[in-house]
Amino acid sequence: MIQPPFLKKGDKIAILAPARSISFDEVHPAMKLFQRWGLEVILGSYVFNIDNQFAGTDAQRLKDFQLMLDDASIRAVICARGGYGSVRIIDKLDFTRFMKNPKWIVGYSDITVMHSHIHRHFGLETLHATMPVNMPANRLGNKSVESLRKALFGEELAYAKRIGPLDRSGSGEGFLVGGNLSILYSLMGSHSQIDTKGKILLLEDVDEYLYHIDRMMMNLKRAGMLKELKGLIVGSMQDMKDNTIPFGKTASQIIVGAVKEYKYPVCFDFPAGHGPENMAMILGRRVKFIVDEEVELGF
C-alpha cells in the first residue's frame, strides 16, 4: 500500500464538500483549528453552494474535487461532511495526477465511497476520521480531533478499549478496510466494491432500521465479504430504529449472528463512526488487532 506524505507546518490542505451541503459557520471552527496546527486552509470554490440537499451540482462538486486532487501543493483533502452524494461523482474523477502526488483523503460516512474506490484501484492509504461538521468550537480539543492530528502528522496511533460481552477473542493482522455499512452495501457489484479477503473489516452505521442492518449483513455474507476476514471491528451503531412489531435483536446481535460460524476476532462499540468518539483509522494500513483481556488495535 502507498502512504501519502505526512503533513508538516506550512502545508496546504483543502476543505471540500463532495456530498451534502454545509455552511461557512459549520466549517469555520475547523478552519481555525487547522490554522492553529500551522496549516494553510484552502476552500473549494463551490464548498458552500447549495443544490437542494447537495453542496452544489454534481458538476460543481466534481470540479472542486478534481482541482484539489490535481493540485500538487495540496497535501490533504478534508471532506467537510458526509450525507449523500459522493457516489454521483466518483466515476468521473481522474486520479492520474493524484497518484503522481498522493495526498490524504479524510472523512467518514458517505466518504466511504472515496475510501473504497481508492483502496480498490490505487492501493493508497486514506483516513476514516472526524470531519469539520463535527468540530464545533467547544469540542476542538476532543480525542477524535487529536487522533486526526496525530494521523495527519505521522504520530503513533494505537487504541485500546475494554472488552465487551459480545466481543469474540482472538488476534489477526491485515490491511484495514471498510467504513459505513450502508455505503459498503450500496457499492456491491460496482467497480468501487472492496475485496475483504484476508483483511480487517471496519463497519459502522447510523439511523438505520434494524431489519435494514440484517438485510445488509446477509448480503455481505452471501457475497463472501465476511467469510475470510482476519478480524471484524464494529464501530458505533448509532440511533437505530425499529418497526411497530420489533425486529427482536439489536444491531450488535444481528452482526453476531451473521458472523457466528467464522473464527476471527470481533469487537463491538469501537470508538469509530457516528458516535461520541470517532478515532482516526488509517484505511489501507496493515494493523494488528487483538481481542483478549482488552481490545487492542495498533497501526
> Helix (H, G, I), strand (E, B), or coil: what is residue 69?
helix
Rounded CA separation 53/56 (Å): 8
156 is catalytic: no
Any catalytic annotation for residue 171? no
Q: List alpha helices for 101-238, DSSP H.
A: 112-122, 143-153, 181-187, 210-222
Rounded CA separation 224/269 (Å): 24
In the set 26, 125, 204, 208, the catalytic residue is: 204
Task: Report the candidate in 7, 10, 13 with the shortest Cα–Cα distance to residue 132.
Answer: 13
In angstroms, how far is the first alpha carbon of the chain from the final one?
Answer: 13
Q: How many CB atoms lie within 10 A of CB 244?
A: 4
Among residues 21, 86, 109, 182, the one annotated as catalytic is 109
CB-based burial of residue 276 (10 Å sphere; 0-12 exposed, 13-18 middle, 19+ buried)? exposed
Cβ–Cβ < 8 Å for 286, 175? yes
Cell of 274: 457516528
- Answer yes or no: are the C-beta atoms of 151 and 127 closer than 8 Å: yes
Q: Verify whether residue 274 is a known catalytic residue.
A: yes
Catalytic, out of 115, 117, 128, 274: 274
* Spatial distance between the Cα atoms of 93 and 112, rounded to a whole number of angstroms: 15
Active site residues: 109, 204, 274
